[in-house]
Amino acid sequence: MPRSFPHNPQLNANGELQHLLSIEGLPREILMQILDTAESFAGVTEREVKKVPLLRGKSVFNLFFEASTRTRTTFEIAAKRLSADVINLNVAVSSQSKGESLLDTVANLSAMQADVFVVRHGSSGAPYLIARHVKPHEHVINAGDGRHAHPTQGLLDLYTIRHYKKDFARLTVAIVGDVLHSRVARSLIHGLTTLGAPEVRVIGPQTLLPARVETLGVRVFHDMCAGLKDCDVVVMLRLQNERMNGALLPSAQEFFKHYGLTADKLALAKPDAIVMHPGPMNRGVEIDSSVADGPHSVILPQVTFGIAVRMAVMSIVAGN
Amino acid sequence: MKILIKGGRIVDPASGRDEIGDVFVSDGKISATKEKTDRTIDAKGLVVAPGLIDLSARLREPGYEYKATLESEMDAAVAGGVTSLACPPDTDPPLDEPGLVDMLRRRAKALARARVYPIGALTVKLAGERLTEMAELAEAGCVAFSQANAPLADTQVLWRAMQYAATFGFPVWLRAEDQCLARGGVAHDGEVATRLGLAGIPAFAETIALGSLLQLVRATGSRLHVCRLSTALAVEMIRAAKKEGLPVSCDVGIHHVHLSEMDLGYYDSHCRLEPPLRSQRDREALAAGLADGTIDCAVSDHTPVDEDQKQMPFAEAEPGASGLELLLPLVLKWGAARKLPLAKSLARVTSDPARILGVQSGRIEPGAPADLVLFDPGQHWRVVPEALKSQGRNTPFLGYELAGRVRVTLVAGSVVYEA
């Protein structure tokens, strides 16, 4: 008897999106479907009555094992605009501290008739474990797992790029900073390579780039000036405080000097380049305020687009 | 009890013998002469080989009885054709006192299944600070000294420990892993870990530590058995060390001969192992090194883990895989893939580990202990949880179909397992 190999855990038997766990492995068509759907929702958020009934009667559980304000809030807004009931659980401080296992927590919530679990977890792969154990009608959306993936952030980044640049076919995109620990970078890289961006660059010191990062389909630069040359899109990554002084980096100052985005460095990119950041920003560490608030910055629109993208994802996996 | 094992294919790796014939067992030993027997076992169509000797199998006692018990794991051993096993000291408490070793041996003996050879802790509580009373532990039955999966970080202590062990001629069995480089890591630092966002353990965590160990062998003359090689370069280093004439031997976990980082798939926690599964290139080098004898033997590195500890995100899952019942079929699979004669592949789990342990078993010749396994090399079976006697059903091979099923196992001339 042949061994049954695991199929793509994100897709159902018809090849449709069952869970959103990672951008890696999703076909181009599904990414485009999400972006197109998000575009149709962008209008909703500007209407006076900002609601559509696509998830009426459904329950969305925000299951955050790791602290988050922005992502959790945007998921909550997105779910409410789809008319879903939203339950926020800050699991980091409740059941886990009482020793309950991850799967027990999920099983208990499942017994409360959940339809969608939006999961953030500090450990890479945790949403896969949950997706393997939920009931067939339940859906898991990864809101960030360890260093692995943050697919809705990746999708909102793709949405932002498409919004300003229309087409991926000629773009040069640079992702700068702590790629090693970044789920945002991994998700965006997979999205860009799937949608056909011809050149994706990662820029950072060796200590902040993962092993064999080039196998993700990116060009590696250690010199930021060389890496930024003629870029259409510059994505700055957040540098966590605890990583600024130690064995990875000597200091925030030295990092800023070599890898912080200033107006001078940005001038090396194309004149119409856009600057993105997943937030929250460390001004003066990875990005200078004059750039963050300057004309090239699309950092705040990213947040707005994030709501439409999350509405799209939830309506596609769980819509009536 | 006198037993006649009739008409089997006798494969004795020690002598290279491979022929159809009869084996006589008398008074716990293999006998040259046919006497009146109490029992005849029909071995037609079966291979009759020395029982397997597994240099690393965790029985989980004392301390981890919820994961497995001596009863369950000794059942698993003989069901897998393993008649002798060495157990690492990472129990709770660790095997760092003669009383614990003595109790383990008594318990094992009372169960009368496989022979158990405890490996003593090299340092107290495996903490890497104070040496254990090695001579006392050896008297209690420890055959070697080890740090299990807690390699020494302090090279000063390592140096002294190897000097002290060498003084008495005790072998040290150590894994080569630089604790600082491996810190926090859960997977091979390469393409897959990068994609999956898992913290990596670089290959040089092994080779840097191995370099230190080999230097200390040169300095102290200590007899070193390197446990669980995982990288291609380490195989090269051992090859060179043996050529140089250093008193060094080594083993590989049977999982690492078959699997690579690719098998992590979508975070399969059954593939969370120590050392981590490495690249395909490394796997090939391990399989080749085991074939050419650079790697002396294959071990199961049997580690029963309860399901709760595996149903966790990859990095949080407890490392280890169950393996006592898979060692034989996986060695056969490796041997078949490399087109090795059966006697040669079986040598890596019989006569070669016997040489490292310094025991008389692991061979079929008059006077040797009658530790034997009779197996059907052509019988395929599916690895499903119910097919395993071990309490640990944690194996990356679940769902595989493997060839080679044990029919009868004898230890010291007694039938201890029969299917």
Summarised one tens digit per residue, pLDDT across range A201-245 is 999 999 999 999 999 999 999 999 999 999 999 999 999 887 877
Distance separating alpha carbons of residues B82 and B56, to the nearest angstrom: 11
**Can you state the percent helix, strand and coil of chain B, rounding each to 5?**
35, 25, 40
Q: Which of A212, A78, A242, A292 is nearest to B191 (CA)?
A: A212
Of A94 and A45, which is predicted with more confidence?
Answer: A45
Neighbours of A13 (CB within 10 A): 7
Of the candidates B314, B382, B399, the beta carbon closest to that of A124 is on B314
Note whether B313 contacts A121, CB cutoff 8 Å: yes
Of the candidates B200, B313, B382, the beta carbon closest to that of A126 is on B313
Note whether A102 contacts B312, CB cutoff 8 Å: yes
Distance separating alpha carbons of residues B371 and B357, to the nearest angstrom: 15
**DSSP assignment letter at A68:** -
> Where does the pLDDT of residue A1 fall: very low under 50, low under 70, confident under 90, or very high at 90 and above?
very low
Distance separating alpha carbons of residues B157 and A12, to the nearest angstrom: 56
pLDDT of amino acid B248? 98
Q: Is B266 on the interface with A (CB under 8 A)?
A: yes
Q: Which of B192, B196, B400, B401 to mutate to test the interface with A (most CBs of A within 10 A)?
A: B196
Q: Is B362 on the interface with A (CB under 8 A)?
A: no
Residues of A with Cβ-Cβ distance to B309 under 8 angstroms: none
Residues of A with Cβ-Cβ distance to B315 under 8 angstroms: 123-125, 146
Q: Is B200 on the interface with A (CB under 8 A)?
A: yes
d(CA A207, nearest CA chain B) in Å: 13
pLDDT of amino acid A48? 74
pLDDT of amino acid A47? 78
pLDDT of amino acid A97? 59
User: How far lies A213's CA from each of A9, A254, A276, B389, in Å?
Assistant: 24, 23, 21, 43
The residue-averaged pLDDT of A82-97 equals: 79
Contact B98, B129 (CB under 8 A): no
Surface-to-core class of residue A304, CB atoms within 10 Å of its CB (0-12 exposed, 13-18 middle, 19+ buried): middle
**B240: its two tokens:** 């060179």
Residues of A with Cβ-Cβ distance to B265 under 8 angstroms: 6
A4, pLDDT greater than 80: no
Of the candidates B194, B308, B311, the beta carbon closest to that of A212 is on B194
d(CA B47, nearest CA chain A) in Å: 25
Surface-to-core class of residue B342, CB atoms within 10 Å of its CB (0-12 exposed, 13-18 middle, 19+ buried): middle
From chain A, which residues contact B within 8 Å (Cβ)? 1, 3-4, 6, 9, 24, 101-103, 121, 123-126, 128-129, 145-149, 183, 186, 210-213, 215-216
> Where does the pLDDT of residue A6 fall: very low under 50, low under 70, confident under 90, or very high at 90 and above?
low
Residue of chain B with shortest Cα separation from A22: B196
pTM of the model: 0.95
CB-hemisphere CA count at 13 Å for B48? 26
pLDDT tens for the 419 residues of chain B, in order: 899 999 999 999 999 999 999 999 999 999 988 778 899 999 999 999 999 999 999 999 899 888 889 999 999 999 999 999 999 999 999 999 999 999 999 999 999 999 999 999 999 999 999 999 999 999 999 999 999 999 999 999 999 999 999 999 999 999 999 999 999 999 999 999 999 999 999 999 999 999 999 999 999 999 999 999 999 999 999 999 999 999 999 999 999 999 999 999 999 999 999 999 999 999 999 999 999 999 999 999 999 999 999 999 999 999 999 999 999 999 999 999 999 999 999 999 999 999 999 999 999 999 999 999 999 999 999 999 999 999 999 999 999 999 999 999 999 999 999 99
pLDDT of amino acid A50? 78
pLDDT of amino acid B147? 98
Q: What is the number of CB-based contacts under 8 A between chain A and chain B?
A: 78
d(CA A28, nearest CA chain B) in Å: 19
Kindly state the helix (H) or strand (E) to which residue A29 belongs, with its residue range.
helix A28-42
pLDDT of amino acid A96? 59
Note whether B265 contacts A6, CB cutoff 8 Å: yes
What are the catalytic residues of B?
301
